[in-house]
Amino acid sequence: MTAKQELKKSIIASVWFMFLTFPIMVIKVNTVTHTIDWRWHNMALVGIGSFFLSMLWRYLLKKKEEGGKKDKKAGLSFIQRLLQEKQFALPGILIITLITILFPHIFSMYQTNIMTSALIFVVLGLGLNIVIGLAGLLVLGYAAFFAVGAYSYALLNLHYGVGFWIALPIGGILAALFGILLGYPVLRLRGDYLAIVTLGFGEIIRLVLENWNEFSFGPSGIKNIPKPGFFGIEMSMQTTTIYVFYIVVLLVVFTIFVINRLKNSRIGRAWVALKDDEIASQAMGIDKAKTKLRAFALGATWAGMAGVVFAAKTTFINPASFTLWESVIILCTVVLGGMGSIAGVIAGALLLILLPEYMRDFGEFRMITFGAVLILMMIFRPGGMIEDVRKTYKFEK
Amino acid sequence: MKPILEVKSMTMDFGGLRAIDSVDLSIDKGQIVALIGPNGAGKTTFFNCITGIYTPTAGDIYISSNGAADGKNERINGLKPNVVTRKGLARTFQNIRLFTSMTVLENVMIGCHAITKAGIMGAIFRGASTKSEEKLIVEKSYLILEKIGLSKYVDELAVNLPYGAQRRLEIARALATDPFLLLLDEPAAGMNPQETMELDELILKIRNSEGISILLIEHDMKLVMSLSEKIYVVDYGKKIAEGTPEEIRHNPVVIKAYLGEEVAS
Amino acid sequence: MDFEYFTQLFFGGLTRGSIYALIALGYTMVYGIIELINFAHGEIYMIGAFTGLIVSTVLTMMGMPTLAVVVLAGMAAIIYSCAYGYTMEKIAYKPLRNAPRLSVLISAIGMSLFLQNYVLLAQTSDFLPFPSLVPEFEFWEPYSHILTSPELMILSTTVVVMILLTILIKFTRIGKAMRATSQDKMMAALLGINVDQVISATFVVGSATAAIGGVLIASHIGQINFYMGFIAGIKAFVAAVLGGIGSIPGAVLGALVLGWTESFFTGYISSDYEDVFAFIFLVVILIFRPSGILGRSQIQKV
The shares of helix, strand and coil residues in chain A, as percent rounded to the nearest 5, are 75, 5, 20
| Domain shared by B18 and B84, yes or no | yes
Residue to substitute from A76, A188, A256, A266, interface B, most B β-carbons within 10 A: A266
Domain contains B23: yes
Q: Decide which of B137, B154, B178 is a domain's last residue.
A: B178
- How far, in Å, CA of A133 to CA of A349, rounded? 14
| Domain shared by B77 and B114, yes or no | no
Does C186 contact B at CB distance below 8 Å?
A: no
| Domain shared by B76 and B36, yes or no | yes
> Which three-class secondary structure state does DSSP give residue A215?
helix
- Residue A24 to residue C273, Cβ atoms within 8 A: no
Give the model's pLDDT for residue A252.
92
| Domain shared by B251 and B187, yes or no | yes
| Domain shared by B150 and B219, yes or no | no
Helix A324-337 to helix A342-358 angle (10° resolution) is 120
pTM to 2 decimals? 0.84
Q: Which of B38, B33, B34 is nearest to B257 (CA)?
A: B38
Residues 68-87, chain C: which have Cβ within 8 Å of A? 76, 80, 83-84, 87
Helix A86-106 to helix A237-263 angle (10° resolution) is 160
Kindly write down the DSSP assignment for every residue of A85-128, as one continuous string: -HHHHHHHHHHHHHHHHHHHHHS-HHHHHHHHHHHHHHHHHHHH
Query: Which domain, by its residues, includes B8?
Result: 1-88+179-265
Q: Which of C27, C33, C302, C28 is nearest to C189 (CA)?
A: C33
Q: Which of B182, B216, B232, B165 is nearest to B26 (CA)?
A: B232
- How far, in Å, CA of B241 to CA of B234, rounded? 7
Contact C195, C89 (CB under 8 A): no
- Residue A370 to residue C113, Cβ atoms within 8 A: yes
- Long-range pairs of B234-237 with CB within 8 A, sequence gap ≥ 24: B234/B20, B234/B23, B234/B35, B234/B36, B234/B37, B234/B41, B234/B42, B234/B43, B234/B46, B235/B37, B235/B38, B235/B41, B236/B21, B236/B41, B236/B42, B237/B12, B237/B18, B237/B19, B237/B20, B237/B21, B237/B23, B237/B41, B237/B42, B237/B45
Q: How do residues C91-104 score in pLDDT, each as one tens digit?
A: 999 999 888 777 88
Residues 37-96, chain A: which have Cβ within 8 Å of C? 42, 61, 64
| Domain shared by B36 and B165, yes or no | no
Give the model's pLDDT for residue A73.
42
Of C36, C99, C279, the CB nearest to A204: C279
Q: How do residues C271-297 score in pLDDT, each as one tens digit?
A: 667 777 777 877 787 778 777 777 665
C110 alpha carbon, distance to own chain's centre: 19
CA within 13 Å, CB half, C114: 20
Contact A346, A125 (CB under 8 A): yes
Res. C212: pLDDT tops 50? yes
Ranges of beta strands (E only) in C12-170 are 128-129
| Domain shared by B105 and B173, yes or no | yes
Domain count, chain B: 2
- How far, in Å, CA of A352 to CA of A372, rounded? 13
Domain boundaries, chain C: 19-288
The mean predicted confidence, pLDDT, of chain C is 83
Ranges of beta strands (E only) in chain A are 27-30, 35-38
Kindly write down the DSSP assignment for every residue of C44-58, as one continuous string: HHHHHHHHHHHHHHH
Q: Which of A216, A261, A233, A228 is nearest to A116 (CA)?
A: A228
| Domain shared by B82 and B147, yes or no | no
CA within 13 Å, CB half, A143: 25
All residues of chain B having their beta carbon less than 8 Å from the beta carbon of residue C299 are 14
* A-contacting chains (≥3 CB pairs under 8 Å): B, C
- How far, in Å, CA of A9 to CA of A1, rounded? 10
C79: closest chain A residue by CA: A20
> Which three-class secondary structure state does DSSP give residue C23?
helix
- Residue B109 to residue A269, Cβ atoms within 8 A: yes
Give the model's pLDDT for residue B40.
80
The ipTM value here is 0.90
Q: Rounded to a whole number, what is the distance in Å from the CA of A394 to chain B's nearest CA?
A: 8
- Residue C122 to residue A42, Cβ atoms within 8 A: yes
Q: Which CATH class is domain C19-288?
A: mainly alpha
Q: Decide which of B178, B197, B227 is a domain's last residue.
A: B178
Of C95, C122, C290, the CB nearest to A24: C122
B96: closest chain C residue by CA: C302
All residues of chain B having their beta carbon less than 8 Å from the beta carbon of residue A279 are 53, 81, 93, 97
CATH number, domain with residue B254: 3.40.50.300
Domain contains B212: yes
Q: How do residues C123-179 score in pLDDT, each as one tens digit?
A: 877 787 777 766 666 666 666 666 777 778 888 888 888 888 888 888 888 888 888
Give the model's pLDDT for residue C189.
84
All residues of chain C having their beta carbon less than 8 Å from the beta carbon of residue A382 are 99-100, 103
C100 alpha carbon, distance to own chain's centre: 26
Q: Rounded to a whole number, what is the distance in Å from the CA of C203 to chain B's nearest CA?
A: 32
- Residue B122 to residue A261, Cβ atoms within 8 A: no
Measure Cα distances from C200 to B17, C28, C30, C72, C82 in Å: 36, 14, 10, 24, 10
Q: How do residues C224-248 score in pLDDT, each as one tens digit?
A: 888 888 888 888 888 888 888 777 8
> Which three-class secondary structure state does DSSP give residue B214?
strand
| Domain shared by B238 and B208, yes or no | yes
Domain contains B93: no
Residues 352-391, chain A: which have Cβ within 8 Å of B? 388, 390-391
Q: How do residues B110-136 score in pLDDT, each as one tens digit?
A: 999 988 888 888 888 888 888 889 899
Of B82, B105, B114, the CB nearest to A393: B105
All residues of chain C having their beta carbon less than 8 Å from the beta carbon of residue B93 are 302
A392: closest chain B residue by CA: B155
Q: Rounded to a whole number, what is the distance in Å from the CA of B80 to chain A's nearest CA?
A: 8
| Domain shared by B200 and B76, yes or no | yes
Q: Are strands B213-217 and B181-185 parallel, antiparallel or unpaired?
A: parallel
Measure Cα distances from C127 to B193, C219, C248, C250 in Å: 72, 13, 32, 33
| Domain shared by B132 and B204, yes or no | no
Name the stretches of chain A with pLDDT < 70: 1, 31, 67-88, 229, 231-234, 358-363, 395-397
| Domain shared by B247 and B119, yes or no | no
Show pLDDT as tens, one digit a residue, over chain B (265 residues). 678 899 999 999 988 889 999 999 999 988 999 999 888 888 999 999 999 999 999 999 999 887 766 667 888 888 999 999 999 999 999 999 999 889 999 999 999 998 888 888 888 888 888 888 989 999 999 999 999 989 888 888 898 999 999 999 999 999 999 999 999 999 999 899 999 999 999 999 999 998 899 999 998 888 999 999 999 999 888 999 999 999 988 888 888 877 765 454 4
All residues of chain C having their beta carbon less than 8 Å from the beta carbon of residue A279 are 300, 302
